[in-house]
Every structure is written in structure tokens, then in C-alpha cells.
Structure 1
Amino acid sequence: MREQLEKYFNRYVTFNDNEITLIYEKLKVKTFQKKEFLLKENTVCKYHYFIIQGLVRSFYIDSKGNEKITLFALDNWWVTNMESFLKKTPSTQYIQAIENTTVLCISKEELDDLYLKVPKLERLFRIITENMLIANLRKTDVFLQMKSSERYFNFVESLPNFVQRVPQYMIASYLEITPEYLSELRRRAK
């Protein structure tokens, strides 16, 4: 796990062995079973999670009682509910394991402490946050500019292995299309 984390960090910012050790010692390993919640609505998000292995989704329940998936995260991705984590306010979303998932997690207090001890870590998280913002903006652009069928084929082309790991109804929710229409698109693609 340490090597995986170090390799990930060093893609963005170079850390020496002592810095990695200091960071790694603050992280806790947690395992979540399939369908287990990392975070539930109306609870404060206490951790920032680095996914070692597995797959999670972030979603909310709309006024009609429908799940609306806003994010998927898999191996080597960070996931949290940023507003709840930073402001210590109740989350408006859930984070749930889609597969058995192992994560490294860190609390806000420990992360803030590490920012002081290893200033490069703050730079790393700024870069990660910027990349997440760019990904969200791209998703918004795709949703505004593409027809639902184009969104599906773009999604499949961009993440072919990912599509095999996620139930189809969840992909439909994420793409804001019905499961029936997704089935029709999949038939057309064959």
C-alpha cells in the first residue's frame, strides 16, 4: 500500500522517503464490503479516502426518491464529500462501496497537521483538487453539449474497463438516462 501511495504522490510532486513515512503513518487502513457506506447523508464526512483497491460511488436522493449518482471513484483516486469534510457540516450525499474496497483515510486534523510538517503535501492536494474541478467541468460540458447517446458512447470509450465493473443502472443514473434507454444503446453498439 505504501508503495502504491508513494508512486501516486510522485506523479505530481516528488517526496523523499522520510516525508512518505511521515504521511503514511497518519493514514488508517479501512476495508468496506460491497454496498457498505463510507458516508451517509446527514452525517459529517470525517475522512479523505484514497482508494487502494475497489470502487465507490457518491450519490444523493432527489425529491422523488431517486438515486442520482454524481461520481464514481476507483483504484488510486481520492474521494470525499469536500464541503462536509472541510466545513464539518452534515453531508448531502452518500458514498458507498460498489465492490469490496480498501482505502487509506486521513482526518482533516491530521491532514492539516501534515500540511505544516510536509508543505509539499498541500501542493499535492491543490493539484488533485484542481484536477477534480477540471473533471467536474468537463462532465458538465459533456452533459450540456452531447445528446444522451453520445454521453454513453463517450463514457464507454473513455473508461472501457470501468464500464464492466459498474452495474448498468448506476451508469444510467450517472449519465442521467433511463436504464431502458441504456439497454437500447448497448444493443445498438453490438
Structure 2
Amino acid sequence: MDLFFKYLKQKKYNKKEFLLEQDSICNFKCFIITGLVRAFVIDEKGKENIIHFGIENWWVSNMESFILEKPSHLFIQALEDTTVLLITKENLELAYVNIPKLERVFRIITENMLIAIERKNEYYIKMGSKERYTSFISELKTFSQRVPQYMIASYLQITPEYLSELRKNK
């Protein structure tokens, strides 16, 4: 672990500060030590659409931009004061060479991220808005109290007004 930590850089972000902006190349993966972030895109109408959130002990990045070294289509923003450990692509590759077991660890992390994405997609196909909200709140109760309601609505792809109605009728 000590060898791996040599490849990481600790960085603090203030609430509302961007870890990544659209059209920048994402040159890091970051592990969230404390705090909360959101990844989102802005559509052609200027509306923010939240893709995912990241909390303590989660990794966050824009994988497409990171791997292909192309401009990011999304933003990553701190929703709270956030402390992360960053690793650049170059340092990650060096770590893989010098710590061969690390590549397996990151493969497992990536597999778990894919499972989470598949699960979210399945929820959106199989569940209605009310069921998505109920499931989100029951599975992530503590987390959902840290995020503004309009952001939860964006993540669930429902209007803030409908979310308010769901909360009232609960």
C-alpha cells in the first residue's frame, strides 16, 4: 500500500468547485476520501442531467475521456467540501507495472462500476418514476439526505415538482 500511495496525490475541492469541466481531458481517477460529487451533462436546452454521484470510498472519473484521452462530455463537481486521492493515467500505468496485483484490483473496481451502471439502466427500464424514487430513498437513505432534492429529481429523470409530490404523498 505504501508503494501505491506514492503514485497518488491528495487534493481538496471546495463545495461547488469542479474536479472536471466539459471539453477538458480527464487525466485522473480519483478516490473520494471525504465529501460528495456529482457527474452531469448539460443538454442542448441548458438543462443539467445528473449521470451519477460519488461519495466516500468511491472512485470517480470520466472513463471515456481518461482512457481515450479525448475531451470530456461531462462535468464533475463537488457538492460538499471534498478530499480525494488522484492518480494520473501515467502513474496508474507505472503502478500496474510495479504492483502487478493492482491491475486486478482496478479491474474489479471497474467491473463493480459496470454492474452499478447496468443496475441503474435496468431500474429505468423496468420501474416507473415512483418506484425509482422509492428504491433510491430506501437503498440510499443517508446519502439522499445529503443531496438537494432537485438533483435527486435530475438523477431519477423526473421533475422537481413531481418529486415534491411523491415526497408529500409518502
Scaled by the length of structure 1, the TM-score of the pair is 0.89
Instruction: Choose the corresponding residue for 2:41, options 60, 65, 79.
Output: 60
Give 1:36's aligned residue: 17
More helix by share: 1
Q: Deviations over 1:31-82 (max 9, x none)?
A: 0000000000000001100000000000000111100000000000000000
Give 1:119's aligned residue: 100
Whether 1:77 and 2:70 are equivalent positions in the alignment is no
Letter in 1 for 2:147: V
Whether 1:183 and 2:139 are equivalent positions in the alignment is no
1:7-26 pair list within 5 angstroms? 20-26=1-7
3-state SS of the aligned residue for 1:26? coil
Give 1:6's aligned residue: none
Structure 2 Cα separation of the partners of residues 58 and 108 of structure 1: 19
Give 1:48's aligned residue: 29
In structure 1, runs of 5+ residues without a counterpart are: 1-19
3-state SS of the aligned residue for 1:30? strand
Whether 1:171 and 2:152 are equivalent positions in the alignment is yes
Structure 1 Cα separation of the partners of residues 106 and 113 of structure 2: 10
In structure 2, runs of 5+ residues without a counterpart are: none
Shift of 1:109: 0.3
Shift of 1:118: 0.5
1:131-146 pair list within 5 angstroms? 131-146=112-127
Which consecutive aligned stretches of 4+ in structure 1 deviate over 3 angstroms post-superposition?
none
Give 2:71's aligned residue: 90
Quick one: percent identity of the two aligned structures?
Answer: 58
Shift of 1:128: 0.4
3-state SS of the aligned residue for 1:165? coil
Give me the CA root mean square deviation.
Answer: 0.5
Shift of 1:86: 1.0
Letter in 2 for 1:24: F
